[in-house]
Amino acid sequence: MLRMVFILVTALAMAATAAAQAGTWQIDPNHSAAQFSVRHLGVSTVRGAFTKVSGTATHDPADPSKDSIEATIDANSIDTRVQMRDNDLRSARFFDVQNYPTITFHSRRTKVAGPGKLQITGDLAIHGISKEVVLDVDGPSAPIKDPMGKGQRIGASATTKINRQDFGVSALPGAVGDEITITIDAELIQAPAK
């Protein structure tokens, strides 16, 4: 789940850069969210988030296929609003944050998927296992001037689905669904040119 969130965050960051000036963009951790959902016992949906996300993206407005993104999620920052469940998810039964403290995404290629839409393919690493995933991205938004004078800001949203078994997160089969939906809402900042 964590790696899916990470991938989505990075895809959003990359997508957001496509609508603005060329250069490097930073994910704003205070205005970005990596969320996930999973079925519980096949009867309800449990939702959670990772609260610590960071990363950078580069973009070439003339050729989005040259865009790239690197993102990192602090796996220990998982929050499902139930402390006992969060502690279990951090344990060796699930994410094993002691041995695998981060979830990462490294983009490989980007393509335009329609007006205002991108598909970003890259490597998502969760629980020490890396798999190729595709993020479906809405955005990026048109850049706006940061009201605090920190440059420009853009935003994007990305979604993907993964199978937790593919990443070695396999505890409680039957109770916890295998398919994880990840949604990333990202805001990125580009510092003013010096």
Q: Where are the domains of the chain?
A: 2-190
Look at residue 5 in the predicted model and tell me its pLDDT.
Answer: 47
Return the H-helix or E-strand segment holding 12: helix 2-17
Q: Are 129 and 147 in contact (CB under 8 A)?
A: no
CATH top-level class of 2-190: mainly beta
Whether residue 25 contacts residue 188, with contact meaning beta carbons closer than 8 Å, is answered with: yes
pTM: 0.82
CA distance 20 to 8: 19
Tokens describing residue 192: 């003013």
Q: Which residue has the higher pLDDT, 66 or 190?
A: 190
Tell which wins on pLDDT, 36 or 70.
Answer: 36
Q: How far apart are CA 152 and CA 150, in angstroms?
A: 7
77 vs 155 pLDDT, higher one: 77
Q: What is the mean pLDDT of residues 174-184?
A: 94
